Amino acid sequence: MLTVALSCILLGALALYMHFRARIRPMMMLSERMPGPRLHPVVGNALQFGFKTEDFLENLTRAVREHGTITRIWLGNELVILLWDPRYVETLLTNTRMLDKAFMYQFMHTWLGEGLLTATGTKWKEHRKLFTPAFHFKILEEFVGVFNSNDRIMIQKLDKHVNGPGFDIRPYISLCTLDMICETAMGVQVHAQEDSNSEYVRAVRGMADIIMQRTFKPWIQLDSLFRLSPLARQQTKYLAILHDMTNSVIKMSKEEYLQKRANSLTTEERNDIGAKRRLAFLDLLIQAQQDGATISDKEIREEVDTFMFEGQDTTTSGICFTLWALAKHQDVQAKALQEQRAIFGGSDRDATYTDLQEMKYLEQVIKEAHRLYPPVPLYGRRISENLTVGDYVLPAGSNVMVHAFMLHRNPDHFPDPERFDPDRFLTENCKDRHPYCYIPFSAGSRNCIGQKFAMLEMKATISAVLRHYKLSLEDPSETPWFVLEVVLTSLNGTRLKLEPRLWSAPGF
């Protein structure tokens, strides 16, 4: 019996050694030439990033500031190479053979499956092609009314804070963007703002926290060890909430779609009279399935989970940090308000698609907020073959991460990088800038398919808030405490004070 046990141990040790020789050792040899923090046995650099989610981004950013625009770290047996030189970033993101996502995306699979964010190969290409028509500008025009109606509800909820103390606006923005993504992309109303359905929002943040913990803690990266941790039980609870929500959305949308289809004219007849309706995101999936495409119910749920996460949490981050910046920089807020007055005069009417296109300065403000506070501050690829970047060879099997938070603060491209200045995004100030020094929606083949949608939604919501309230900070010296929860958030929330905007008074 003892002999059998010893034989198993020796075989296991041999297997680990062979794995090291085949995969890890070649990566170590190439990575040793790169700058990076000192390694510790087994865990690599993991202990240097802290044990709490709120410490990860700060410690990671400190490491790359110390070691430069290419920095090597090891998280257990995963090699992570961080880039924030736009030339290096361009080499990575324009390489059409480097489309697989980095190792940390695997921790999203229990939630998002193989949706557009995490899928690879042929499946990703086919789904990307399928979804592109859902973001045609004609579809986006139709969504403006949805943005306006949900913004009105949010404004009613915010009114109770007028002339009161500072409060965290993020929960209100989160529920508003949840209503928006469900009504636009999914075609159903979930009334999250009316029902205070924050359970879904809390579950999103809980899952994001677990994903980041597994990324930076090698001892729970293996599924077998993770299942023994308390986090596994929390994940089960969060997944039940998240999947119940998306299953409900799909059920409602499918019933509505099939009802409309049963009552409508044939496709040929609709084309004849020029009344063919452009289909929103979930409609496209359901129609493709009904028309015989090989898309399973599971794949539909994976894509819905993905779009609800990406379309809700990232825009919430973008809106919150932009509102915070407007409250922090009163001169910028005054100039943004001036533009709103030029568009709307003294009217409190809803914004139109054309109005949103005319908000050039507000777009500059949003872009500058995305520069300093990118909603997705890190994203990466798994390298399938050796890739030369500058003077270095990135080894096959490594994970190459774009550190967008630092990329956007590169002083070679953004002088005085910590200063908030929307004029950086005037056309004349952008023309000579490296195209990969500012990529809040990623770039290349796997850029964000919904970036135009997101910009319209953010403009509509920020415009509505700005036209109704004068924004200020309870503590003007306050700065965000950045936390990496897949998307960028602030541990101290987005605390604002609201005063009524007397729309007809020129002083406001």
Domain locations in the chain?
A: 33-500
CATH superfamily of 33-500: Cytochrome P450 (1.10.630.10)
- pLDDT value, residue 370: 98
Q: Where are the beta strands (DSSP E) in 176-289?
A: none
First-to-last C-alpha distance (Å) of the chain: 84
Task: Evaluate the CA torsion angle 415, 417, 422, 425 in order and state its sign.
Answer: positive
Half-sphere exposure of 456 (CA within 13 A, CB side): 28
- The pair of three-digit structure tokens given for residue 350, joined into one six-digit string: 């809803």
Binding-site sequence positions: 448
Calpha distance 217→273 (Å, rounded): 60
Calpha distance 384→158 (Å, rounded): 49
Biggest CA–CA distance in the chain, Å, is: 89
**Contact status, residue 218 vs residue 76, Cβ threshold 8 Å:** yes
Full pLDDT tens readout for the chain, 508 residues: 556 545 555 555 555 545 555 678 888 888 999 999 999 888 899 999 888 889 999 999 999 999 999 999 999 999 999 999 999 999 999 998 888 999 999 999 999 999 999 988 888 888 888 888 888 888 889 999 999 999 999 999 999 999 999 999 999 999 999 999 999 988 888 889 987 667 899 999 999 999 999 999 999 999 999 999 999 999 999 999 999 999 998 988 888 877 777 776 555 444 433 334 456 788 888 888 877 777 888 888 999 999 999 889 999 999 999 999 999 999 999 999 999 999 999 888 999 999 999 999 999 999 999 999 999 999 999 999 999 999 999 999 999 999 999 999 999 999 999 999 999 999 999 999 999 999 999 999 899 999 999 999 999 999 999 999 999 999 898 899 999 999 999 998 999 999 998 754 444 3
Q: Which residues pair with 495 in a beta bridge?
A: 168
Q: What are phi and psi of 8, to 5 degrees?
A: -65, -40
The pTM is what? 0.91
Binding-site sequence positions for heme: 448
Single-letter amino acid code for the residue at 382: R
- The pair of three-digit structure tokens given for residue 287, joined into one six-digit string: 């129609």
